[in-house]
């Protein structure tokens, strides 16, 4: 199997089955044009979901590789409520965990703040979710109101969902303090993060 260098994840089809697989290249840091790819199956549509026994995988979305061999990915489910057709999963060392389901007023056993409720939609113009890999954090936007109002940015560090930017916080911009009404994650680079903020500057 020959794939472009730098390819870290895939959604593959074999007949009617779909699989989430990851490819590793020995010696990628060194010139090795003929290095073989090694494919490892992470989950398939037939894989059980330990903490969602009534759900099953029907499709896979974006996947992100984290340090320590963890892969975080979106997957579409069947058997769950209609408003919760997608969920964010983690797989590491063969252990599959459901980080967060799509929907309104949902909770997660992995929230750093017990009882925290999330308003998350994997798709849709009014409730976009941006998930990214910056070497440590996988960040997403969660809104508690309509049209993305009162949205905050949260991050997955491999163990817990932690708040990064929340409505009500203050931030200094251009020497002036601003009150954050909502925030949305945009992108993360080497030591730089970009977020869209809505708020009011204070005198």
Express each pLDDT in 100-135 by its tens digit: 988 878 899 999 998 888 888 776 544 556 676 666
Cβ atoms of 89 and 73 closer than 8 Å: yes
Cβ atoms of 34 and 58 closer than 8 Å: no
User: Is the pLDDT score of 21 beyond 70?
Assistant: no
pLDDT tens-digit series, residues 58-99? 989 888 888 888 999 989 998 876 656 889 999 999 899 999
Cα distance between the two ends of the chain: 61
pLDDT tens-digit series, residues 128-160? 566 766 667 788 878 765 555 678 888 888 999
The percent of residues above 90 in pLDDT, for the chain, comes to: 13
* CA distances, 151 to each of 49, 50, 155 (Å): 29, 30, 13
User: Is the pLDDT score of 28 beyond 50?
Assistant: no
CA–CA gap between residue 135 and residue 192 (Å, rounded):
12
The phi and psi torsions of 163 (rounded to 5 degrees) equal: -70, 135
Residue 153 pairs with which residues in a beta bridge?
141, 165
Q: What is the mean pLDDT of residues 16-23?
A: 52
CA–CA gap between residue 176 and residue 202 (Å, rounded):
7
Is residue 145 packed enough to be buried (19+ CB in 10 Å), middle (13-18) or exposed (0-12)? exposed
CA–CA gap between residue 20 and residue 63 (Å, rounded):
9
pLDDT grade, residue 172 (50/70/90)?
confident
């Amino acid at each position: 199997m020959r794939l472009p260098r730098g390819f870290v994840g895939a959604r593959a089809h074999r007949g009617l089955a779909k699989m989430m697989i990851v490819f590793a290249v020995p010696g990628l840091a060194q010139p090795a044009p003929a290095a073989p790819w090694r494919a490892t199956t992470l989950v398939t549509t037939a894989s059980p979901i330990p903490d969602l026994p009534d759900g099953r995988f029907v499709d896979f979305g974006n996947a992100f590789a984290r340090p320590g061999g963890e892969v975080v990915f979106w997957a579409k489910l069947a058997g769950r409520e209609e408003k919760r057709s997608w969920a964010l999963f983690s797989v590491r060392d063969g252990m599959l965990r459901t980080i967060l389901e799509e929907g309104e007023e949902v909770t997660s056993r992995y929230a750093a703040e017990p009882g925290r409720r999330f308003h998350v939609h994997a798709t849709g113009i009014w409730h976009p979710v941006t998930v990214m890999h910056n070497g440590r954090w996988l960040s997403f936007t969660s809104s508690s109101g309509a049209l993305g109002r009162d949205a905050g940015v949260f991050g997955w560090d491999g163990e817990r969902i932690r708040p990064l930017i929340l409505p009500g916080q203050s931030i200094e911009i251009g020497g002036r303090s601003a009150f954050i009404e909502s925030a949305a994650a945009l992108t993360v680079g080497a030591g730089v993060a970009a977020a869209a903020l809505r708020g009011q500057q204070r005198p």
